[in-house]
Amino acid sequence: MAKNQKPVKIKRYKRNSASPKTVVFKKVLTVAAGVVLLIAAGFFLGKPVVNFFANLDFSAPSEQTSSQQQPDSSDGQRSQSGSEPVQVSDTSIYYYADISQMTTEGGIDSVIAAAKTAGADHCVFDLKDASGYIHYNSENQYAQKLKADTVADLDMVVKKMNENGITPVARVYTFMDRMISSVERGAAVKYQGTESLWLDTSAALGGKSWANPASSIMQSYITDITDEILSKGIKEIIYAGYSTPTGYSLDKRDFGASTEQVLANMKNLLNTLKSKVSAKGGRAIWQFEYSATASGGDYAQYIVHPFQLGAENVIITADASQVSDISAVESLKKIARDNGITHFALWMTDGTTLENIQSAGSYFVR
């Protein structure tokens, strides 16, 4: 035996050494015991790490449940992170230009110069006006029949405005459309139980028809126009007239669908338009009236409060008599914030310039 080498003790069983099966069994038992020890160590050593991840919140911001009641205007603020209030402005300044000024290169240059002088970084113009006329060269079958006399060269408009740091913004009137019935009666609201066009007042007084929010024809028309405008490189679109008809004999309106279905169609279309614009890296904005959005306002034509239709970006039209007090602007901003509005702009339709409208952050200038 070599020096300092200890003798190996061999445990004997009836003078026989362990069989190969026994040796294998013992090795397996040893490995199993080691695994148990590792698991135990992992449990105690890993507990702080487990607690760390357990305390992280990876959930998406919760969505506010839609309600047909007046929107919440309590002190609680809906937020994206749970602690920071939602920003209701990005300090954009809009300039509105009549589309008739933009039919020539010189006219477009003049509009850009005026917008710059006013300090605006956005320029708004109507591509589908409040009557339903189309102000650009469209391939849509209805739009071609309703093309206005004043048509803008969108390619030139977009190119020149982008070169001058002005964001082109197209406005599209949706269901406020008296012309669609002249080329497609199926897209218009009817008198109850008849095929006659519903008018917002008597024909003798110049009553006008309205597009039907429940009409699949009308919805496709609006989405087609949106696709065309986006294809021209315009990334911001304002949707106006997004409501059921206003006027007289409202109880005689026939949408061919229940009020609940009309509302569902309006919400679905809004989400479709919002998704289309967002997919192009742009922003879809909805234009509402102050009288319908202010606390206690009348919003019957929208069925629910406009801020509950699903829009995230809004422009509110008002005049000096409605927002002459800064508290009125702050109150409206709060209602918007409490209902998930992330971009809020104020448009003084009477051209009044009030210092307090700048508290809205984003606003229109003349």
DSSP string, 238-256: EEE--SS--SS-GGGEE-S
Same domain, 186 and 270: yes
Please give the model's pTM, rounded to 2 decimal places. 0.77
The neighbour count for residue 186, using CB atoms within 10 Å, is 14
CB 110 within 8 A of CB 199: no
Total domain count, the chain: 2
Percent of the chain residues past pLDDT 90, beyond the cut: 66
Q: List the Cα angle 353/358/359 in 5-degree steps.
A: 135
CATH of the domain at 285: 3.20.20.80
In a domain, 75, yes or no: no
| Residue 278 pLDDT > 70 | yes
More reliable by pLDDT, 307 or 8 = 307
Sign of CA dihedral 86, 283, 177, 317: positive
In a domain, 6, yes or no: no
Domain range holding 252? 93-365
Identify the residue whose tokens are 């445990």.
11
Same domain, 36 and 166: no
In a domain, 315, yes or no: yes
If residue 289 lies in a helix (H) or strand (E), which one and from where to where?
strand 283-289
Q: Report which listed range, 198-212, 273-287, 313-327, is most confident.
A: 273-287
More reliable by pLDDT, 249 or 28 = 249
Q: How many helices (H) and strands (E) does the chain have?
A: 10, 10
Band the pLDDT of 247: cuts 50, 70, 90.
confident
| Residue 14 pLDDT > 70 | no
Same domain, 343 and 278: yes
| Residue 23 pLDDT > 50 | no
More reliable by pLDDT, 190 or 76 = 190
CB 110 within 8 A of CB 59: no
- Cα separation, 216 vs 269, in Å, equals 10
Same domain, 247 and 143: yes
Q: Which amino acid is at 139?
A: E
Band the pLDDT of 71: cuts 50, 70, 90.
low
Same domain, 28 and 135: no
pLDDT in tens, 306-325: 999 999 999 999 998 999 88
Residues with Cβ within 8 Å of 230's Cβ and at least 6 positions away in sequence, in order, are 237, 276, 277, 280, 282
Same domain, 35 and 132: no
| Residue 230 pLDDT > 90 | yes
Same domain, 206 and 338: yes
Torsion, Cα of 334, 71, 251, 287 (10° steps): 40
User: What's the pLDDT score for residue 57?
Assistant: 33
Task: Please state which of the ranges 66-75, 76-85, 122-131 shows the lowest mean pLDDT.
Answer: 76-85
If residue 43 lies in a helix (H) or strand (E), which one and from where to where?
helix 20-54
In a domain, 62, yes or no: no
Band the pLDDT of 88: cuts 50, 70, 90.
low
Burial of 30 by CB count in 10 Å (0-12 exposed, 13-18 middle, 19+ buried)? exposed
Mean pLDDT of the chain: 81
Residues found in the chain? 366
| Residue 63 pLDDT > 80 | no
User: What's the pLDDT score for residue 108?
Assistant: 97
Q: Which residues on adjacent β-strands are paired with residue 348?
A: 318
Burial 10-28 (b: 16+ CB within 10 A, else e): eeeeeeeeeeeeeeeeeee
Q: Are strands 190-191 and 167-173 parallel, antiparallel or unpaired?
A: unpaired
Band the pLDDT of 181: cuts 50, 70, 90.
very high
Task: Please state which of the ranges 146-150, 159-163, 198-202, 224-228 shows the lowest mean pLDDT.
Answer: 198-202
In a domain, 60, yes or no: no
Compute the average pLDDT of residues 121-143. Answer: 97
In a domain, 66, yes or no: no
More reliable by pLDDT, 207 or 48 = 207
Compute the average pLDDT of residues 251-274. Answer: 96
Same domain, 131 and 35: no
In a domain, 199, yes or no: yes
Same domain, 141 and 219: yes
Following DSSP, what letter does each residue of 290-359 receive, concatenated? HHHHSTT---GGGSS-GGGSS-SEEEEEE-HHHHSSHHHHHHHHHHHHHTT--EEEEEETT----GGGGG
Same domain, 347 and 241: yes
Band the pLDDT of 346: cuts 50, 70, 90.
very high
In a domain, 312, yes or no: yes
Percent of the chain residues past pLDDT 70, beyond the cut: 76
Same domain, 30 and 108: no
Same domain, 119 and 241: yes
